[in-house]
Amino acid sequence: MAEYDRMNDLELVNLIKSGNKRAFAQIYDRYFGVLYLHAYRQLRDKDEAKDLLQDLFSYLWSHRESLSPSSNFSHYLYMSVRNRVLNILAHKYVEDKFLLSLSHTGSRAEAVTDHRARERQLAVIIEQEIQLLPPKMREVFELSRKANLSHKEIAVRLGLSEQSVRSHVKGALRLLRSRLGLWVYLCMIAGAIAGAN
């Protein structure tokens, strides 16, 4: 290897182009250390820096025939490392943004799923409380809130006076409010929460 030590980069590159492995080993030994430090300073990851250099030298060997000999081969190597570092950093940036968007999407999806689960639980609780109402009151209330019938329609269907229907609905709401709490009661009045279907 002594004769290769004395060769300049241009001479070594010309030999590499013709498939000379010893010339390639000389370039590798000459530049690996400084290029590794250059990559590591940017990436702050030893394994990533080593992988980058291994990929670069593998690429150089597999594309040796298309190498353009230059008096400034070291500049070519530094620029190759720089470009690869930039590609890695750009990929990480895109990946981080993608993962962040997934994380946010996941959080929103979990929040929606959690909200729907709680809404279903609440609907079940409301339905249980409705079933505990006195029979006639429950029947009137269900026709009012589930079938969306008017007081007049309920009165005709059940053979009751409209005043009686109104009293049953008010009584049901009063009982449900006392059992379920004001917030649930208001939601139910507003129609935001329907009974379990």
Whether 123 shows a pLDDT value over 50: the answer reads yes
Would you say residue 112 lies in a domain?
Answer: no
pLDDT band at 14 (very low <50, low <70, confident <90, very high): very high
The proportion of the chain whose per-residue pLDDT surpasses 90, expressed as a percent, equals 44
The residue segments making up the domain with residue 6 are 2-96
Q: What is the pLDDT of residue 161?
A: 93
Q: What per-residue confidence (pLDDT) applies to 192?
A: 37
Smallest CA-to-CA distance from 150 within 169, 132, 136 is with 169
Total structural domains within the chain: 2
Q: Is residue 50 one of the residues assigned to a domain? A: yes
Residue 185 is assigned to a structural domain of this protein: yes
User: Mean pLDDT over residues 77-97, rounded?
Assistant: 77
| CATH classification of the domain holding 47 | 1.10.1740.10
Whether 28 maps to a domain, the answer reads yes
Query: 87 and 16 in one domain?
Result: yes
Phi and psi dihedrals of 193, rounded to 5? -125, 120
Residue 85 in any domain: the answer is: yes
d(CA 175, CA 172): 5
What is the pLDDT confidence band of residue 196, given thresholds at 50, 70 and 90? very low
**pLDDT, position 104:** 55
How much is the pTM?
0.49
In the predicted structure, residue 177 carries a pLDDT above the cut 60: yes
- Tell me whether residue 89 is in a domain: yes
Main-chain dihedrals φ then ψ at residue 68, nearest 5 degrees? -100, 110
| Nearest Cα to Cα of residue 30 among 94, 99, 82, 77 | 77
Which pLDDT belongs to residue 125? 67
d(CA 58, CA 61): 5
Mean pLDDT of the chain: 80
Q: What does DSSP assign to residue 196?
A: P
Distance in angstroms (rounded) separating the CA atoms of residues 92 and 44: 13
Is 154 among the domain residues? Answer: yes
Least confident of 44-53, 90-99, 110-119, 152-161: 110-119
The pLDDT of 70-97, averaged and rounded, is 79
